[in-house]
Amino acid sequence: MSGPGSEEGTTGGGTTGHAPGATGPADRARTPDGHAPNGAPRQPGRTTSGTPDHAPEPAGPAADSAPGTSGTDRAVERRLHPVTPLRRAWAPVAVLVGWAVHDPDQAQRQLTRLTTTHLLIGLAVLIPAAALYGFLTWWFTHYAVTDTELRIRTGLLFRRTAHIRLERIQAIDVTQPLLARVAGVAKLKLDVIGTGKKDELAFLGADEARALRAELLARAAGFAPETAHEVGEAPARQLLRVPPGVLAVSLLLTGATWGTLLAAVVVPTLLWLATHNLWTVLATALPLVGAAGASSAGRFVGEYDWTVAESPDGLRIDHGLLDRAHETVPPGRVQTVRIVEPLLWRRRRWVRVELDVAGSSNSVLLPVAPREIAESVVARVLPGVTVPTELSRPPRRAARCRPLWWRGHGLAVTDAVFAARHGLLRRSLALVPHAKVQSVRLTQGPWRRALRLADVHVDTGANKTVAARLRDAGEAAELLRSQAERSRTGRRDAPPDRWMA
């Protein structure tokens, strides 16, 4: 009924050849590819105000006599891509494998007793069971987009419905693991504060996922629900693309890469010399080699072809060699930006930029970029912010509190951001827009008090705390007061949640 394949005909015919740009504001253009952004059939009761593509609508009701279209505000429920059961079907097999790994001796003994007939019977039971499980989970998972929320209904025995408020979206990710790319499907995940991993739509057809993302963003931006699924993808303007060569060099210049590699070589060798026990060596070497691989080759593959683009719907980040990920962070969702400068990158003036969005696990904005470009990107991410260059150091007596490292600390407060730096070798400058500050704290231990020093912590909604450490006590007290004031007033000029409204 509501499988993606069946509607392709009805809506595909309805949207071909419409005049672009008739409904949306001037700065949003529709996708020229003519793909229907919403796979659902049109609802007959809806009024779409005088748009050119309204013309084929009368033909609609005949075609979409689906049961979901009865009420005007009742959203159409859709299912995930039919390929999904295959992914779920692995669960029983995984359980079996897990048991075998967990208890190898027992598994071995059982295996020797098996005959071909046993095996065949087992397979004959297991495969249909797995298929049934996969099919049922797929059959009982529905999602629907309403005017204000995305609903995900799952569960066969234990029913669960997630209602995700669209104006509270912090980020939308469309990811395609390697196998999903082969199958032409994608995962769509909405980052809302407090959502779990369950609240992702896996899998959708790749085109459908993009269309759904466009529609969700359009609705979240505040477009009228009638027009939301015709707005299409907002045009993106590429800001930066990281060349693979630069990425490779940057990873070669990272201490962590060499540290893990060194550990992977040295520790097993030493262990071999000490114990001459192959199993001990293997047991330590494998995780170490894995870590080394993840921190070098894994990062290269994950951060390959890193592209940052800007669109009216916010920031778009695309990356990955094998697994592709497309992240969208709507405007005004970034809570903290960190500019990290490892020691070995300093000569090349390269930096890494990380960002925190509430409820999201993504944290990298730019894996590597020249400082000037990174600063211009930061200025796009946090509008009206210039990265402060002059930071005030803690007073000299702070050296008695934290010898040498006190020089790494710095603080700058501009009209737009609270910026605090820490680290001596690997410098990290954190920027918090005043509007994103949730609370301000001043802490002072006995040793700091003796030296008339204090720390000021600024808490943000992404559960990150930025601290300006080792400030003069008087200055810190003044900073506490003024920062509370700034964070309160800073909110007034912040863009609304529905950024297009």
Partner 1 sequence: METGSPDDTGTAGATEAAAPREAAGPSGPARREPVWTGLPPGLLRMRRLLLVVWLGLLAVAAGLLPALFLEPVWAALAFLPLALLGWGWVMLERNWRSWRYAERADDLLISRGVLWREETVVPYGRMQLVEVTSGPVERHFGLASVQLHTAAAATDATIPGLDPAEAERLRDRLTELGEARSAGL
Please choose, out of 144-152, 173-181, 201-209, 478-486, the segment that lies near partner 1 by the rule CB under 8 A: 478-486
- Give the residue with the Cβ less far from partner 1, 16 or 489: 489
What backbone torsions phi and psi does residue 84 show, to the nearest 5 degrees? -55, -45
Q: Which of 111, 481, 493, 501 touches partner 1 by CB under 8 A?
A: 481
- Give the residue with the Cβ less far from partner 1, 373 or 494: 494
d(CA 444, CA 7): 64
Please choose, out of 239-247, 261-269, 370-378, 458-466, the segment that lies near partner 1 by the rule CB under 8 A: 458-466
- Give the residue with the Cβ less far from partner 1, 217 or 368: 217
Interface with partner 1 includes 285 (CB under 8 A)?
no
Residue 170 CB, nearest approach to partner 1 (Å):
8
Positive/negative CA dihedral, 292, 293, 298, 304: positive
Interface with partner 1 includes 436 (CB under 8 A)?
yes
Q: Which of 387, 411, 480, 500 touches partner 1 by CB under 8 A?
A: 480
Q: Which of 83, 100, 263, 442 touches partner 1 by CB under 8 A?
A: 442
Interface with partner 1 includes 474 (CB under 8 A)?
yes
- Give the residue with the Cβ less far from partner 1, 330 or 367: 330
Is 299:290 a contact under the CB 8 Å cutoff? no
Interface with partner 1 includes 335 (CB under 8 A)?
yes
Interface with partner 1 includes 493 (CB under 8 A)?
no
Positive/negative CA dihedral, 398, 400, 401, 405: positive
Which burial class, exposed, middle or buried, applies to 406 when counting CB atoms under 10 A from its CB (0-12, 13-18, 19+)? buried
Which burial class, exposed, middle or buried, applies to 133 when counting CB atoms under 10 A from its CB (0-12, 13-18, 19+)? middle
Please enumerate, as own/partner, the contacts of 486-494 that have beta carbons within 8 Å and a separation of 24 or more. 486/413, 486/415, 486/418, 486/434, 486/437, 487/434, 487/435, 487/436, 487/437, 487/438, 487/440, 487/458, 489/434, 490/416, 490/433, 490/434, 490/435, 490/437, 491/434, 491/435, 493/435, 494/332, 494/433, 494/435
* Residue 232 CA to its chain's centroid (Å): 21
Interface with partner 1 includes 391 (CB under 8 A)?
no
Question: How many chain residues touch partner 1 (CB under 8 A)?
Answer: 39
Which burial class, exposed, middle or buried, applies to 378 when counting CB atoms under 10 A from its CB (0-12, 13-18, 19+)? buried
Residue 422 CB, nearest approach to partner 1 (Å):
17
- Give the residue with the Cβ less far from partner 1, 248 or 442: 442
Residue 356 CB, nearest approach to partner 1 (Å):
11
Quick one: which of 315, 313, 476 has its CA closest to 381? 315
Interface with partner 1 includes 444 (CB under 8 A)?
yes
Q: Kindly identify the residues of this chain, within the stretch 186-215, that bind partner 1 according to CB under 8 A.
A: 193
Q: Which of 146, 280, 363, 465 touches partner 1 by CB under 8 A?
A: 465
Residue 193 CB, nearest approach to partner 1 (Å):
7
Using CB under 8 A, list all residues that contact partner 1: 193, 333, 335, 358, 435-446, 449, 457, 459-461, 463, 465, 473-475, 477-478, 480-485, 487-488, 491, 494, 497
